[in-house]
Amino acid sequence: MMRNNNPLDLSLFLLIAKIGKTRGLRGEFFLRSFSEDLDSLNSFSKFYTLKSEMMEEVKFEYIKSNNSNITAKIDSVDDIDAMKLFGQRDLYVLKSELPELEENEAYWFELEGMKVVNLEGEELGKVDHVNNYGASDMLEVSPIKNGSDFILIPFLKNRTIITINKAQNSILVDWQMDY
């Protein structure tokens, strides 16, 4: 019998949170969410963690807000020692389970690779990454011209980000090459 050695296709999954430190003795832990709010995190039915090059489904007893933190508990994990096996693991969801967005909206991973064009019609470059340095989300754009390593454009809808066109794989921005 041959064994299937196909590598795991991580492009099917989206990193949504990270399991943090334990909280108390009964298997509860802090969850660092990369989602916009707790409601969107609770909208997913299946979560996965990467274990030995395979995705393992994780079922939660609950995910709730606790002051400014998010706490959670995995089904059938009832003590601190069992919870330590999950510590600091990344938590994924299937991209196919993401809710549909409105027109002119996109997920961060969809922005990567889009061309960026300003109001004058100049193509500034392509989005390499979307980062958050504290104040707001920033598009990191590899420029077409001007010789710099990258251009940072604040992701401020209806100010610097005018439209996102997924069909044309482009973002219209109110930004100049020399900013």
pLDDT bin (cut points 50, 70, 90) of residue 6 is: low
User: 16 — phi, psi (to 5°)?
Assistant: -115, -25
Q: Is 45 exposed, middle or buried (0-12, 13-18, 19+ CB in 10 A)?
A: exposed
Chain centre to alpha carbon of residue 174:
25
Q: Do domains 10-96 and 108-173 have the same CATH topology?
A: no
Write the pLDDT tens digit of every residue in 108-123.
Answer: 889 999 999 999 999 9
> Whole-angstrom Cα distance, residue 38 to residue 32?
11
Share of the chain above pLDDT 90, in %: 31
pTM: 0.72
pLDDT score recorded for residue 104: 81
Domain boundaries, the chain: 10-96, 108-173
Q: What is the mean pLDDT of residues 10-20?
A: 88
Q: What class, spelled out in words, does domain 108-173 have in CATH?
A: mainly beta
- In tens, the pLDDT along 16-48 reads 889 888 887 887 888 888 877 777 788 888 999
Q: Identify the CATH assignment for 10-96 out of 2.170.130.10, 3.40.50.12160, 2.40.30.60, 1.10.3720.10.
A: 2.40.30.60
Predicted confidence (pLDDT) at residue 178 exceeds the cutoff of 90:
no
